[in-house]
A and B are shown apart, each in its own frame.
Chain A
Amino acid sequence: MGKYLLRRILQMIPVVLGTTLLVYALVFALPGDPVKAMFGDKPVNESVAAQIRAEYNLDKPFLVQYLLFLKNAFTLDFGNTFSGQPVIDEISRAFPVTIKLALMAFCFEAIFGCVFGVISGLKKGKWYDSVILIVSLLLISVPTFVTGFLGQYFLGVKWSILPVTAGSNPGFFDLLMPAMVLGSVSMAYIIRLARSEVSSNVSLDYVRTARAKGMSNRSVIFRHILRNSMIPVVTYLGQDLGALMGGAMITEQIFNIHGIGFLTYQSILKGEANMVVSVVTLLTLVFVVCNLLVDMLYAALDPRIRYA
């Protein structure tokens, strides 16, 4: 096991290198000229533009730019944004908020998704199964901007139950509504997944055996059915934490959260390679670690899965 872990950790090196190269290339391939765009609709002073290009190494060929970035990154210098802020500062401001939001959304979708999914799967065909189906269907088909707006308008502006926007340094209550909005779509997926797995496990032989042995309903559900139903759910959850961090752009905009999603979106539009690469690399690490945890969980859930 220890060897396996070590191998997985060593694998991060090519992953990080691959990601940075790929993303740097993608940003480089973005059409347009980020420096010209800094002048807005106004005339561009070419000699000033040249100075700025030189400052950000934008005047050099792609590979040189990339290697320079990489070289500096080794000393934890990820360069500056076009507004002169160190990339590392921007990220360290945005990251804690994003982690908070993503973890809250994650807990929300994991708990409610599993509970509703399991109930639905155990009672397949009953009326609450149908209700849960309709609700999850709604969450899937209604775009996030609608859920966000409705939540913000009614819970925030109209009834003043929850804060309207999160702002900087948000606390638990500030992020409650955004987390629910953010997690709702994934929750629907988890409901569907859990329901499908539970319902197909419920009638299997070993469950019958367990019941025949006189095991209580509760332990049958928890020890047997759930344990055997969790692999797809855990897989989905594992990859979703990273997705919640990087893909929360719409939620962040609606609730004025200065997080990673919005930062990435803005820097892609501006063509800030340093920022985009740094954020994406960070997210890759999150994905790698989450997926490693998920693989470990597989072995815990299903002893037959073993890693050498």
Chain B
Amino acid sequence: MKKKVMAIAAGVCTLGMLLSGCGGSGSTASAGNVITAFNSEPQNALIPGDTNETGGGKVGQLLFANLVRYDSKGETKMEVADSIEPNKDATQYTIKLKDGWKFTDGTPVTAESFTKSWSYTANAKNAQKCSSFFSSIKGYDKLQDADSLKGDEQLEGLKVQDDKTFTVDLNSPNSVFPIMVGYLAFAPLPESFYKDPKAFGEKPVGNGMYKLDKWDHNSQIVLTKNGDYKGEDKPKNDGVTFKIYTDTDAAYADVQAGNLDVMDTVPASATKTFESDSKVEAYNKAGSVIQTFTIPAGLKHWETSTEEGQLRRQALSMAINRENIVSKVLNGVGTPATDFIAPVIPGYSDDLKGSDNLKYNESKAKELWAKADAISKYDGKLTFSFNADGGAKPIYDAIVNSVKNTLGIDVATNPMPTFQEFRDAVSQRKIEGAFRTGWQPDYPSPENYLYQLYDSDAADGHGSNDGDYKNAEVDELLSKAASSPSADEQNKLYQQAEEILLEQLPAIPLYYSNANGVAAKGIKNFEMDWQNQPIYENLSK
């Protein structure tokens, strides 16, 4: 009996080899070792500098290899770069490339592949959505007046020394620059890109682990292994096919039925059961996305700069039972927040001074609220605004109930139908109350969270400091950290800044979204990285 099965299996293999035509490599991994993965339709053409959402980001990361690469734990490793050397005050970097890297069209990856690409993205004429990532490079400001530009002007801070070397001049010291360049927008582009960016966006040519085979819109994106990939960690499968879904529930059902191999999220309807679901393999660990809500720093009674405001913010924060929300509403796919960054980011800590302000404490909350009321009586109504199309409703219902039950004050949710309406209201500062904020990091550094969200430079519409929080002490600590060469020293400074934030609470941290996902039974090496993404290249069947 067993023999017969073997014979049939062998027959199938031969047939498979015949059909596939070549099949002579002798490797045991046949054409069947292709992983199917969940994705949503990318919202932009697949151009690294124009990709700013996960649908395209997931694909881009597999197609392009940057100067550096983040490993699963968020540590930065050299990839195309041989070395990235700062000058004394971290305002200039000299970057040397490794030999032998090639794009999949056969052209070599040179210093110019990087400098021209970065300039293209930074140049406002080209309308790339990630252009502001290059704002720290010298000459960025000159490339922002789109009307007077042609599109091929270069950043003056980028200088090519030779084929494999270039230097970068920055506007101000920036110690995280070597980490930042691992973000997708910093990917190199081949010459062919500039001839027809539009066509390139449909069929990008990169230097990464995989190459794009075809992109059937709203259906699938087929990637095959790039045999010329020069990186250290080679893919353990022959390709990744992203299947485009309208909804996570549908994808989950497909994983259960064995029609889909892996998905990087779990629909709300399955969060309670996916870890015990015998049909799937589950993954659920703390991740890098932090969920917060922000109360504008200048809101009456809630000012971050007054004692009353700080007391109210602390009371509000302590009135929220994060443990309960995480376990009952999220069913454990989140982790209660203890700071302003995230557990997988270097520099994370769960016992900073003031982290008690993020713990549920009914009596203390009441006490602090009464203290604030003694300074100035509060009789307003606090609303929590969020976009209703993102699934945040149960969370905010729970927050409102928790605050109402603890403090007995008038609070209510204020859902807005679409993300665009919500973001517009936030950016125009039209919301007089709390509003949903959250941060998905672009690169694994506390700087990416703290500077972008709480520095005065990022306030007033210049960045993502949507509450317009301004604190000179925080600013100074952040800029000191930016010019400090040692990672330990940097983290210490970031933590000091966080302790101020914990006291003044410009935003109130709620929880970290977990990296959670499922894979079909039989998929090997299913793990997720610091970006809450499966490590696609390690998966195999």
Give A residues with C-beta under 8 Å from B.
30-34, 36-45, 47-48, 50-52, 55, 82-85, 89-90, 93-94, 149, 152-153, 156-157, 160, 164-165, 167-169, 252-258, 262, 268-271
Contact = CB atoms under 8 A, between A and B. Distances in A.
Contacts of A55: 127
B44 A253 contact: no
Interface in B432-455: 437-440, 452
Given A42-B52, A45-B131, A55-B127, A256 B420 contact: no
A55 B198 CA distance: 14
Given A32-B424, A164-B259, A256-B251, A41 B439 contact: yes
B537 to A, nearest CB: 25
Contacts of B43: 38, 82-83
A281 B423 CA distance: 29
B244 A258 contact: yes
Contacts of A44: 427, 461
Interface stretch (B214-222, B405-413, B526-534): B214-222
Contacts of A169: 219
B480 interface: no
B384 interface: no
5 contacts: A40-B53, A41-B423, A42-B132, A149-B249, A168-B220
Contacts of A43: 132, 452, 458, 461-464
A47 B146 contact: yes
A82 B43 CA distance: 7
A211 B244 CA distance: 60
A253 B250 contact: yes
**Secondary structure of the B side of the interface?**
mixed
Contacts of B464: 41-43
Contact of A47 (B145, B198, B422): B145
A52 B127 contact: yes
A157 B257 contact: yes
Interface of B: 41-45, 52-53, 124-125, 127-129, 131-132, 144-146, 198, 201, 216-220, 243-247, 249-251, 253-254, 256-257, 259, 269, 279, 389, 416, 418-425, 427, 437-440, 452, 458, 461-464
A45 B217 contact: no
B353 to A, nearest CB: 28
| Best-buried of A34, A48, A168, A270 by chain B (most CB within 10 Å) | A48
A160 B217 contact: no
A90 B244 CA distance: 14
Contacts, number: 156
Given A44-B427, A50-B146, A34 B124 contact: no
Contacts of B256: 157, 164
A78 to B, nearest CB: 16
A31 B259 contact: no
B127 A48 contact: yes
A168 B218 CA distance: 8
Nearest to A37: B420
Contacts of A168: 216, 218-220, 244
A224 B246 CA distance: 47
Contacts of A153: 253
A38 B41 contact: no
A36 B424 contact: yes
A268 B417 CA distance: 11
Q: Which 10 A-B pairs have the closest CB atoms?
A: A168-B219, A37-B420, A32-B421, A32-B420, A51-B127, A256-B250, A47-B124, A253-B247, A32-B424, A258-B218
A40 B436 CA distance: 13
A264 to B, nearest CB: 12
Contacts of B418: 30-32, 37, 268-269, 271
Contact of A37 (B124, B216, B419, B452): B419
B276 to A, nearest CB: 16
A160 B53 CA distance: 35
Contacts of B198: 84
Given A39-B129, A254-B247, 4 more contacts: A31-B418, A48-B128, A164-B254, A252-B246
A45 B421 contact: no
B423 A256 contact: no
A51 B146 contact: yes
A254 B132 CA distance: 38
A156 B244 CA distance: 19
B389 A269 contact: yes
A168 B129 CA distance: 30
B124 A93 contact: no
